[in-house]
Chain A
Amino acid sequence: DAGVIQSPRHEVTEMGQEVTLRCKPISGHNSLFWYRQTMMRGLELLIYFNNNVPIDDSGMPEDRFSAKMPNASFSTLKIQPSEPRDSAVYFCASSFWGFGEKLFFGSGTQLSVL
């Protein structure tokens, strides 16, 4: 079975450019999470969805970040405009909706903003 699929694996862009990260959750999962990993701050939850509806976006650092989930099989995380401090590994994870459900993570997108 396919796991969580993220694209691209690596993204290098210049400051000010728009960046779009993509995620396909595991089929049947109804919760989707976006995390960011940096050396300084570790793993931080940015936003999560249940049944395609954003539930908590309090972790989104600022208005430059936006996330959408137009259907159960696709989500995007967009940064516009990007800044060097956005450089990080961005993970998407999915799960069933329920207390204690384990998260299944994608391989991550390594973003470098020059």
Chain B
Amino acid sequence: AQKVTQAQTEISVVEKEDVTLDCVYETRDTTYYLFWYKQPPSGELVFLIRRNSFDEQNEISGRYSWNFQKSTSSFNFTITASQVVDSAVYFCAHGSGSARQLTFGSGTQLTVLP
């Protein structure tokens, strides 16, 4: 069975600091997808990024960047120059190649202080 671990329960940073959210996964699948979702205080879950297991190329999108390393089964997410609006719960998720549902981590509550 798949398992996603987000060891950081809560993180607080001051605005403009960089912050990295950790995600470690366990899987027996050889093909899979990894996701990050954001849940702002309003409650809905918003898709941020998707990576498949064949693509370890890291990506930067504006203030966001992702570091996928199969060797350590990690898929970390970094926000550069954080802003108050980044305050939310961030979820890492695993999509199995053998099934269609996503398995979510427990989430990391990020608070960005002004």
Contact B104 A42, beta carbon cutoff 8 Å: yes
Task: Point out the residue from A31, A56, A91, A101 that lies within 8 Å of B45, measured CB to CB.
Answer: A91
Tell me the complex Cα distance, A103–B36, Å. Answer: 11
Residue of B nearest to A107 (CB): B44
B25-50 near A? 1/0 per residue, CB < 8 Å: 00000010101010000111111001
Residues of A within 8 A of B44 (CB): 105-108
Task: Point out the residue from A97, A104, A107 that lies within 8 Å of B43, measured CB to CB.
Answer: A107
Contact A50 B100, beta carbon cutoff 8 Å: yes
Tier of interface size on chain B: 20 to 34
Q: Which 8 A-B pairs have the closest CB atoms?
A: A100-B33, A105-B45, A43-B104, A45-B101, A42-B106, A107-B44, A102-B47, A108-B43
In the complex, B52 has a CB within 8 A of chain A? yes
**What residues make up the interface of B, taking CB atoms closer than 8 Å to A?**
31, 33, 35, 37, 42-47, 50, 52, 91, 95, 97, 99-107
In the complex, A79 has a CB within 8 A of chain B? no
Residues of A within 8 A of B47 (CB): 102-104
